[in-house]
Structure 1
Amino acid sequence: MSQQRRRQGRRPRPKQARGASRAGERFEAVVGPVAHGGHCVVRLDAPESRVVFVRHAIPGERVVLEITEGTDGDRFWRGDAVEVVEASPDRVTPPCPYAGPGLCGGCDFQHVALPAQRALKTAVVREQLSRLAGLTWDGEVEAVPGDDEGLHWRTRQRYVSLPDGGRAMRKHRSHELVPVDTCLLEAPEPSDHTALGRHFEVADEGFWQVHPGAPDVLVSTVLEMLRPQPGERCLDLYAGVGLFSAFLLEAVGETGRVVAVEGDRTASALSARNCPGLVVTAGSVADVLAASYDEPFDLVVLDPPREGARRAVVEQVVDRAPRAIAYVACDPAALARDLATFAEHGYGLRELRAFDLFPMTHHVECVALLRPS
């Protein structure tokens, strides 16, 4: 898994206003479909005729929304549902007192029943695959053991320290702070950095999946999809501390070969310690593949950061002519774009599973299997 902190989106840069601000104005409207990013689409009628991306709503509800970002010249606005006129049957009281309009921005869906959260994420994955890659997916986002009804799963949590010794979380798309006692997503115990019974050494600030069930389910899924055989050659790209490499090495045996490429040098060095016999290179995946390991590989695992692998890496991967590729993705839009690029080069999607590794948020983890057409 890549060392990069890909799960936490960057806060937006200030943008130049294009006309009078509409922040604070309220409108009553019916909520449209869910969109990628933890909000729903609302289309305001004339004379406004504007799309608003609204948080704290559920498709089909009638709400009063308050504009939080937007000017007369913007193509779309952002807003919060501050009053529910007609509620969805899937609406619940958020378990956390800090979840809601104007409060902590860490969760997107605490107001939605857990099964309905997964249905919303399923809709997002399907829409992104269809719109960006022309693919139809009839799967469902799957629950993963390790959380407590969607809570207490973050084995690593960060707070902002306050001058009085307290702690806080940030508001959505803001540097503003919300003082909190604790986050209900925080797990009672830190991660033990194990997968399928095997321990991994990870740096203090190094990346490791935060959901307790994530390492097991991701490794198992990748192995089931690829079915590595003794003697095969494998590329593990964005390899982190060697999570997938360790199990690929076991599967291909002494006659096989596994090469791991990771951009973070600390994680790359740890992968060598975690996986004796692994061929390790630290550096940009695109640059490393452009300069080395220019030979056929049977299998490839990709676990890129949020922006995806992108064309340069995809083209280097298909140049190795693997029989199968497992792509682990934390962003369905980036995954769909890369799947479209793979398709241009003759590699089609054969299977895709999606996992709810980030309950109460809009994030979802996918594992895709690609094979040559």
Structure 2
Amino acid sequence: MSRPRARRPRVRAARGDSMVGRRFEVEVGPVAHGGHCVARVEERVVFVRHALPGERVVLEITEGTEGDRFWRGDAVEVLTPSPDRVPAPCPYAGPGRCGGCDLQHVALPAQRELKARVVREQLLRVARIEVDVVVEAVPGDEEGLHWRTRQRYVALPGGARGMRKHRSHDVVAVDACLLEAPDGPSYDVRGHAFEVTTAPGEGASFWQVHPGAPEVLVDAVLDALGPRPGESALDLYAGVGLFSRFLAEAVGPTGSVAAVEGDRTASALSERNCPGVLACGGDVGAVLADGLPDAWARADLVVLDPPRTGAKRAVVEQVVAREPRAVAYVACDPSALARDVAIFAEHGYRLASLRAFDLFPMTHHVECVALLTRTGPDLG
């Protein structure tokens, strides 16, 4: 699928004097979605990076004015450390340094538990579903390091390079990023080679950066859906056809697969990567509304692999109108997943299973594969 470019932080109008640089001693509360924990200064919520639940820290405000509803801050001194705290392996990680990693100060098993808590909390708060979540390790990294098969640096004068600070355009000069993999991406999955454009910038096809991700996600989607010979399957936000290729094999010559992708270059590649699959380039919502042959008014199976913002209501309602027996939703944002699961529930689809994968160690990001079906109780 195509992914949106990262958004710049919104600039809020000042509401009183700046609090930036002020320090407070606080007890850190629960982890929150976004790579931080929640603390309070009197009644004001502060989203604190570089902290862990239960710690007592000195935080320094990095964003906020007197009248804001919440502030942002960094834990600049740890008074009572968590047993899950470890020395960051990277010398550029920490307050005021590179903003690429959120969790280098956390032991790897605890990182996964924090991510599991976030997924559970989002599904409970937004979708009203209690779910037991375990974030699974994925083969291909080295104790959470050396997994980024594509890495971008900021070019600095004299041939040096750098990384940006958190929520900032300021650059920290670095020798190397410990997340960078020694080798570039492999486009071979389950014995099939995929054609992918690798031009820098907007022309590049989306491909997972963790080397273990493509195969792990294909396995999880196929295990969830259990495709049968003769079935019809829609692969939405299909990218270059990663899931379409294996869905087509599973449903066989008597079945059918349509791959819908907003990026027309990626859609053309999916046609080449997936013989026999109907490739449709264009906005997913528009194609579902009026761009597919009449035969696709129904579908047995659907794969949804949207960008970080999720599928949203219009696409979800187009999906449920086709009455699939099962939907596999691949999500890189727990909040968007929870919102869309709630929309599916309005139409009689329930969360039947959920798996979560640590495709982005040392960061707050987590990938989920959710199975939604028309029958049976909610998971949990």
Q: What band does the TM-score fall into relative to the shorter chain?
A: over 0.9
Cα drift, residue 3 of structure 1: 1.9
The letter for the 2-side match of 1:334 is A
Is the Cα contact below 8 Å between 1:29 and 1:62 reproduced in 2?
yes
Q: Which residue of 1 aligns with 2:253?
A: 254
TM normalised by structure 1 equals 0.97
1:354-365 matched pairs, under 5 angstroms: 354-365=356-367
Q: Which residue of 1 aligns with 2:233?
A: 234
Is the Cα contact below 8 Å between 2:119 and 2:133 reproduced in 1?
no
Aligned pair 1:182/2:179, yes or no?
no
Match of 1:94 among 83, 88, 94: 88
Q: Which is worse superposed, 336-345 or 203-212?
A: 203-212
Q: Which residue of 1 aligns with 2:163?
A: 169
Cα drift, residue 198 of structure 1: 1.6
Distance 2:108 2:69 in 1: 32
Aligned pair 1:333/2:327, yes or no?
no
Q: Percent identity?
A: 71
Is the Cα contact below 8 Å between 2:227 and 2:247 reproduced in 1?
yes
Aligned pair 1:41/2:38, yes or no?
yes
Q: Which residue of 2 aligns with 1:21?
A: 18
The letter for the 1-side match of 2:73 is G
The letter for the 2-side match of 1:276 is P
| Unaligned 5+ runs, structure 2 | 199-203, 376-380
1:95-244 matched pairs, under 5 angstroms: 95-204=89-198, 205-244=204-243
Q: Which residue of 1 aligns with 2:65?
A: 71
Q: Which residue of 2 aligns with 1:266?
A: 265
Is the Cα contact below 8 Å between 1:194 and 1:215 reproduced in 2?
no
Cα drift, residue 163 of structure 1: 1.9
Is the Cα contact below 8 Å between 1:53 and 1:78 reproduced in 2?
yes
Q: Which is worse superposed, 334-343 or 194-203?
A: 194-203
CA deviation string 1:151-187 (max 9, x = no partner): 0000000001012211010000000000000000000
SS of the residue corresponding to residue 128 of structure 1 reads: helix
Q: Which residue of 2 aligns with 1:351?
A: 353
Distance 2:318 2:291 in 1: 10
Distance 1:28 1:311 in 2: 43
Cα drift, residue 197 of structure 1: 2.4
Q: Which residue of 1 aligns with 2:286?
A: 287
Q: Which residue of 1 aligns with 2:201?
A: none
SS of the residue corresponding to residue 10 of structure 1 reads: coil
Is the Cα contact below 8 Å between 1:106 and 1:172 reproduced in 2?
yes
Moved over 4 A (4+): none
The letter for the 2-side match of 1:311 is R
Distance 2:224 2:10 in 1: 40
Q: Which is worse superposed, 49-58 or 14-23?
A: 14-23
| Unaligned 5+ runs, structure 1 | none
Match of 1:316 among 306, 310, 318: 318
Aligned pair 1:32/2:29, yes or no?
yes
The letter for the 2-side match of 1:232 is E
Distance 1:167 1:336 in 2: 38
CA deviation string 1:201-256 (max 9, x = no partner): 11112210000110011000100111111111000000000000000010111111
